[in-house]
Amino acid sequence: MTEQITQTIHQKVAENPSIMPRNLARELQISEGEVIRALPEHMRLEAPVADFISIWETMTGWEKVTFYAETPGAIIEISGQLPMGRPGHGMYNLMDKNFPLGGHLLLENIASIWLVSKPVFNLESHSVQFFDGSGRPCFGVYLGRDATRAIIPSVKDGYRKLWTQYGGNKETEQ
């Protein structure tokens, strides 16, 4: 990625902190993963793909999140707790019937994991996002909100711990 694209992303985010990475990716004709990588440092932190299971298991302890996945025909959001799973056959299998989310996460397709702290629709937002080798989103997990649309404090605390674990040295306030 060129320095000019990085500067353009920084400028557009400074003008509109809630700008959606997917919209920037389309505008600049780059992948969404490249947009995330080029965000200002205080907005993103990369975690090792090898830590997927540990990260997922940490997120299962958060009382409420929104699992987000986009296909060409739909944007799917499921709110609640994440189920535990187990690896097998190149996937992370979500088999616990006590949770609304089930299925199989294709571990072999995940090439990068990013912790992202960036406003969405002018609201504080924090997420853990998973991308494939082409920089396309696989799925994301957004911190849950209470009835007032504020991020649940215990979930935010869990995210801060994850941020610190991967070398972040700042508060994830916006």
Rounded to the nearest integer, the mean pLDDT of the chain is 94
Q: How far apart are CA 65 and CA 68, in angstroms?
A: 9
Residue 153 pLDDT greater than 50, yes or no: yes
- What is the rounded CA–CA span in Å between residue 87 and residue 67? 19
Report the pLDDT averaged over residues 124-132: 98
- Residue 171 pLDDT grade (very low, low, confident, very high; cuts 50, 70, 90): low
- Residue 118 phi, psi (nearest 5): -150, 135
Cα separation values, 107 from 92, 100, 149, Å: 6, 20, 32
**Could you tell me the pTM of the whole model?**
0.94
Task: Count Cβ atoms below 10 Å from residue 45 Cβ, excluding itself.
Answer: 22
pLDDT score at 174: 46
* Per-residue pLDDT tens over the stretch 31-86: 999 999 999 999 999 999 999 999 999 999 999 999 999 999 999 999 999 999 99
DSSP of 124-147, one letter per residue?
--EEEEEE-TTS-EEEEEEEPB-T
Q: What is the pLDDT of residues 82-109, one digit of tens each?
A: 999 999 999 999 988 889 899 999 999 9
Residue 39 DSSP symbol: S
